Amino acid sequence: MKTVFYPGCTLKSAAGYQESIEAVLEALEISLPEVEDWTCCGATAYFSLDEMAALVLPARVMAIAEEMGAQQVVTPCNACYATLRKARAILADEEELKSRVNQALAVGNKLYRGRVQVRHLLDFFMEPQVRQVWKTRIRRPLDHLSLAPYYGCQYTRPQTNGEDHPERPRTLDLFLEELGARVVDFTAKTYCCGAAQMVTHEEACLPLVKRILLNARQKGAQAVVAICPLCQFNLEVPQAKLDMGSMPVVYFTQLLGLAMGMDERVLGLKKLLVPFKVALHSGVPTKTPDFVG
């Protein structure tokens, strides 16, 4: 099945996410061609402002994926994932609306047929054939780490999701367990972090972030694991304002790279605002990592 990669607008500004994705895929010899001439998907909030425009943007992305001969498009961003899936579901049920969207796309010589599936990057890595590839490359199991898997509120609740349970997801838990880590019973794993509202309504969002991080700490986590650029940003950046100490927030792809024995710098771990230092000796963890805030 041919798969193409839709990065979304926030990936390049994410702390090590793009680097770790590219490094891991290269090490695994997995090719994920980028969607050509991609544009913003409009994010989830656009649907409340202009439904037509909110549908045209993700439809264009999926139309290009179709042109490239892909059967599925993969994205590392929860908002992009939710937006593309929502647009796909709406257009599958509304033929007249689909026709209007295609009239708009025709200006740019594009046609949306609805033939590509939309997957999150996490789910792509958990596909049986991909999973088997990286499982054979694990050199340094993360059995010295206790981790809190943070899904965010959009990964499990896009319209017609079907990938995981909306309230009790397990995909990231299983991924981290495969890496050898201890996964804590993290109640706040699907709580909202505030999303883009952090920019304009920070005071309202800070309590949301604090309850997520405190829950992770209370459960014994040494770090929170994110699967979305905005979620990672929201959980990491405001910590200095929360008066609760610090908690590393790392991407799942960075941890996969570590388990494969890759260098921290290649994985962008040095870019994290809350440092994440892992003690490794001859490829075998020797002690609990030193997390410095």
Residue 3 has phi, psi (to 5 degrees) of -125, 135
Q: In one letter, which amino acid is 225?
A: V
Q: Note the pLDDT of residue 287.
A: 37
Q: In one letter, which amino acid is 171?
A: T
| CA atoms of 222 and 30, how far apart (whole Å) | 30
Q: Note the pLDDT of residue 112.
A: 97
Looking up tokens 């796309």 gives: 105
| CA atoms of 261 and 28, how far apart (whole Å) | 12
Q: Tokens for 17, please give them.
A: 């996410």
Residue 247 has phi, psi (to 5 degrees) of -140, 120
| pLDDT beneath 70, residues of the chain | 46, 48, 158-163, 278-293
Q: Note the pLDDT of residue 161.
A: 54
With vertex at residue 194, the alpha carbon angle to CA 189 and CA 195, rounded to the nearest 5 degrees, is 95
Q: What is the DSSP letter of 33?
A: P
**Which helix H or strand E contains 276, and what residues bound it?**
strand 276-277
pTM greater than 0.85: yes
Q: Note the pLDDT of residue 157.
A: 73
Domains of the chain from N-terminus onward: 3-122 (1.20.1050.140), 139-291 (3.40.50.11810)
Q: What is the DSSP letter of 10?
A: T
Asked if 230 contacts 11 with a C-beta cutoff of 8 angstroms, the reply is no
Q: Note the pLDDT of residue 5.
A: 98
Closest Cα to residue 186, out of 226, 161, 218? 218
Q: Note the pLDDT of residue 163.
A: 67
Looking up tokens 């963890």 gives: 285
Q: Note the pLDDT of residue 292.
A: 37
Query: Is residue 29 classed as helix, strand or coil in its secondary structure?
Result: coil
Asked if 240 contacts 210 with a C-beta cutoff of 8 angstroms, the reply is no
Number of other residues whose CB lies within 10 A of the CB of residue 103: 10
